[in-house]
Chains A and B, each alone.
Chain A
Amino acid sequence: MDIAAILAAVLAPKLVVTVVVCTFYGAFVGAMPGLTATMAVALLVPFTYFMDPAQAVAAIVATTTTAIFAGDISGALLRMPGTPASAAYVEDSYAMARGGRPRTALFVSLFAACIGGIIGVAILSAAAPQLARVAARFSSDEMFWLACLGLSCAVFVGGASVPRNFASLFIGLAIATVGIDVAVGHPRFTFGINDLLDGISFIPAMIGMFAVAELLRNAETRDPVRLGRLKVEGLGKAVAAGWREVRGRKINVARSGIAGTVIGSLPGAGADVAAWICYAISRRFSRTPERFGKGHTEGMIDGGAANNAALAGAWTPALVFGIPGDSVTAIAIGVLLMKGLTPGPQIFSTDALLVYTLFGSFFLANLVMLLSGTLAILAATFLLRAPRSVLMPSVLILSMLGAYAILGSTTAIWIVLALGLLGYLMSHAEIPIAPAILGIVLGQVVEDNFMVSMMKAQGDLSGFFARETAAFLGVATILIWGLLLVRAGLELAGRRPAASSRETNT
């Protein structure tokens, strides 16, 4: 790919403006407790409908990059992580803020996030085209197994127990079966509603499950956030101290940047899982593990670098195989499909410029984040005083009109309502949302490839293992199913802690 063409695409004024605006939007939403990075993207999607594909992916990338960092702001100042990805090291950043160094804590996070993000996108841009070359030879058999492997992986790494993860996945797959089927064109589960013939529209579904479900949870808790008096250090001092801390821990940043990318690339394991694992690794190898959780920067650097690196990692399976690595890339795949682009190995040859523009926007977003992040840190106390009674209704009206804008019919608003309630009930029953999202996105891919392979093999299941790669992927999938059965057995026997309430979305 011609470097000059990529640079021209990435530095096009329209794209740069989109990235800058979205980093500020991401910083704002991420900093608010109760508004997650995924919600920020779900609310952004109706706007991406009116953008060209490169601009749309740049907007999504820039929003999530900053939102994940900004989650640390309310984490440090209120001990309420703005996004689940900041939860791993919230004790440390809060302790630092209480100790009179809130800005230093946030600049440590900002620098770690920026470098971690850049490591992530460097790995993504090196690995994805190579993997795509391998994936280009896949037939419906391999694609079926790969999608199954992705879904099983989501169940395997999800935070909750096996039956809950499976329940979530099947809820997603059930939603995906609504609409006209591919084989004979029979309408399924449409209840005579014409707007459902094309299936449950993806964007209203996302808005419902992420924005409205979150809104309903917020409606339950009525305690307004109180920001106490806080001693704040000077900006110059905080920047210098933050940089010194991060520079002194190069190995941590490199280790967690790489590990975060790899973890992020596993379907179902998002930025939050990456942060938890890298924080734990950091503590395990630290010379001073006893200082973790008490305002020590080491774990913050590891967790902060890992969660931003994971964002880029999640794009690897999304671009190469069309299998999302987390909820945000699931939404992004939906956006690309809406624009007539099918993520998968062929996108590297048919729309190479788009792919490289995506990589470029990731780099750009991480750099612009230094500016928007600094402004967000300066405005932190002001941001956190934004009244919930205006913020939540704003999310509500954006959700409803955003959904309407996509479908042009009030059916979209009913989908938002139904799936919002479903998402709320799922979280109430401690059923994670992320596998359901993967199910909604991948349901049709799995079914299409399954039906094509079934027809090829005339219903003979051994046909799914006829090709060498397909057989390998099939055995790997069945092996994961076996492990999941063993794990479910252990959970029921009480040998392994079951359902944790930790959400797996970012």
Chain B
Amino acid sequence: MSPGCAGQTTMINRTDLLAGVGLFVLGAAMAIEARGFPSLGGMAFGPDLFPTITAVGLMVSGVGIVAEGATPARRAAAAQAGEQARALWPMLAVLLTIAFFALTLPVLGFHIAAALAMLAAVRVFAGGWGLALSVAIVAPVITHVIFYTFLRVPLPWGLMAPLAW
């Protein structure tokens, strides 16, 4: 925490502002999209009714969260939490690992994709290279036994297809 920040309060809690505006925009987009849905023969309502109610709910709660963000208690909370340093990259690395796995699973096959994903994940959670390599070798074997052999999930073999059994 940098000096002098604890006592300062902002006009509004920034996280609340972002969350509230985000919910409002999401609700508005949903409501606009729902207007294009067909109606139920002869009735004034159709498949758009429930999504529209939900969309309005999202928008109203968004406004509520912004209003709450302007209360003294939430502003003080923002000032207190604002200076806590958060390491963002490990979180992003986990997301990228999942995206990588989803993209490469059909191409590389689950053994290779799982090995690479595990190698990355152990490193993200601060494991050494030795540990990461061991996990990357062992994990595909275990997942093969659990998911492919035991549960009979048709996992894609990808590059390993010539070796499939």
The interface of chain A, by Cβ under 8 A from chain B, is 46-47, 50, 161-164, 166-167, 169-171, 173-174, 177, 181, 183-184, 186, 188-189, 212, 215-216, 218-220, 222, 224, 387-390, 392-394, 396-397, 400-401, 404-405, 408, 410, 413-414, 416-417, 420-421, 424-425, 428-431, 446-447, 450-451, 454-455, 458-459, 488, 491-492, 494, 497-499
A177 to B71, CA, bound (A): 33
B157 part of interface (Cβ distance < 8 Å)? no
Q: How far is the CB of A183 from chain B (nearest CB, A)?
A: 5
Can you spell out 14 A-B residue pairs with CB atoms less than 8 angstroms apart?
A163-B61, A163-B63, A164-B65, A167-B64, A174-B58, A186-B38, A188-B34, A417-B95, A420-B98, A429-B16, A429-B65, A451-B49, A494-B71, A498-B71
Of all chain A residues, the one with the shortest Cβ separation from B60 is A166
Q: Is the interface of B mostly helix, strand, loop or mixed?
A: helix
Complex contacts, A216 vs chain B, CB 8 Å: 91, 94-95
Complex contacts, A497 vs chain B, CB 8 Å: 73
Of all chain B residues, the one with the shortest Cβ separation from A49 is B151
Of all chain A residues, the one with the shortest Cβ separation from B113 is A400
Q: Which of B18, B58, B68 neighbours the largest number of chain A CB atoms within 10 Å of its CB?
A: B68
B160 part of interface (Cβ distance < 8 Å)? no
With A47-B151, A177-B51, A400-B98 as given contacts, are A219 and B93 in contact (CB-CB < 8 Å)?
Answer: yes
Does A390 contact B127, Cβ atoms closer than 8 Å? yes
Q: How far is the CB of A447 from chain B (nearest CB, A)?
A: 5
B5 part of interface (Cβ distance < 8 Å)? no
With A220-B90, A390-B127, A396-B117 as given contacts, are A417 and B71 in contact (CB-CB < 8 Å)?
Answer: no
Complex contacts, A220 vs chain B, CB 8 Å: 86-88, 90-91
Does B51 contact A400, Cβ atoms closer than 8 Å? no
Q: Is the interface of A mostly helix, strand, loop or mixed?
A: helix
Does B94 contact A215, Cβ atoms closer than 8 Å? yes
With A401-B143, A413-B101 as given contacts, are A222 and B90 in contact (CB-CB < 8 Å)?
Answer: yes
Q: How far is the CB of B105 from chain A (nearest CB, A)?
A: 6
B6 part of interface (Cβ distance < 8 Å)? no
The 5 closest A-B pairs by CB, nearest first: A163-B64, A389-B127, A393-B121, A181-B47, A167-B61
Does B38 contact A389, Cβ atoms closer than 8 Å? no
Of all chain A residues, the one with the shortest Cβ separation from B121 is A393
Complex contacts, B95 vs chain A, CB 8 Å: 216, 417, 420-421
Does A390 contact B61, Cβ atoms closer than 8 Å? no
Of all chain A residues, the one with the shortest Cβ separation from B126 is A389
A220 to B64, CA, bound (A): 28
B122 part of interface (Cβ distance < 8 Å)? yes
Does B126 contact A224, Cβ atoms closer than 8 Å? yes
Of all chain A residues, the one with the shortest Cβ separation from B114 is A397
With A164-B65, A396-B97 as given contacts, are A387 and B58 in contact (CB-CB < 8 Å)?
Answer: no
Q: Which of A219, A388, A405 neighbours the largest number of chain B CB atoms within 10 Å of its CB?
A: A219
With A420-B98, A492-B67 as given contacts, are A222 and B126 in contact (CB-CB < 8 Å)?
Answer: yes
A162 to B62, CA, bound (A): 11
